[in-house]
Amino acid sequence: MTIFRTARGMRDFLPEGAKMMKYIEGKARRVAQLYGYKEIITPVVESYELLAAKAGEEVRSRMYAFKDLGGRKVALRPEFTASVARLVATTLRNEPKPLRLFCVGSLYRYDEPQKGRFREFWQSNYELMGSSKPEGDAEIIMLTNSLMKSVGLKNCVFKVGHVGVLRGILSQENVEEQVQNEIMQLMDKKQYEATLKLVEDAGTSKCLATLKKLMETKGSKVSQILKTMEQQVEGYERAVDAVGNLREILKLVSETGEKIDMIVEAGFARGLEYYTGMIFEVYVPEMDISLGGGGRYDRLIELFGGEPTPAVGVAHGIDRIMMAMQKQKTSLRIEEEKRVMIIPVKEELNREALKISRMLREAGIPVEIEVMGRKMSKALEDADRRNIDYAIIVGEKELKNGAVVIRNLRKREQKTVKIENIIETIKGNKL
Looking at the Cβ atoms of 297 and 304, the one nearer to ligand AMP is 297
CA-to-CA distance for 361 and 161, rounded, in angstroms?
53
CB 68, min distance to ligand AMP, A: 24
Kindly tell me which of 27 and 109 has the beta carbon lying closer to ligand AMP.
109
CB of 125: closest distance to ligand AMP in angstroms?
Answer: 8
Q: Which of 249, 246, 245, 233 is nearest to 170 (CA)?
A: 233
Residue 248: Cβ-neighbour burial (10 angstroms; 0-12, 13-18, 19+): middle
Closest to ligand AMP by CB, 56 vs 310, is 56
| Minimal distance, residue 104 CB to ligand AMP, in Å | 12
Task: Write out the residues near ligand AMP by the rule CB under 6 A.
Answer: 79, 109, 111, 116-118, 121, 123, 271-272, 290-293, 315, 317, 319-320
Give least dist CB 124 to ligand AMP, A. 10
Nearest residue relative to ligand AMP (C-beta): 317
CA angle centred on 89, ends 316 and 144, rounded to 5°: 20
Phi-psi region of 23 (alpha: psi -120 to 50; beta: other; left: phi over 0): alpha
* Closer Cβ to ligand AMP, 111 or 182, answer by number: 111
User: Are the C-beta atoms of 302 and 309 separated by less than 8 Å?
Assistant: yes
Residues 6+ apart with CB under 8 A from 359: 419, 422, 423
CB of 416 to ligand AMP, least distance (A): 54
Residue nearer to ligand AMP on the CB measure, 78 or 344: 78
Q: What is the per-residue burial (b if ≥16 Cβ within 10 Å, else e) of 55-69?
A: bbebbbebbbbeeee
Q: Identify which of 51, 46, 73 has the alpha carbon closest to the alpha carbon of residue 62.
A: 51
Q: Shortest gap between Cβ of 317 and ligand AMP (angstroms)?
A: 2
**Measured from the CB atom, is 109 or 218 closer to ligand AMP?**
109
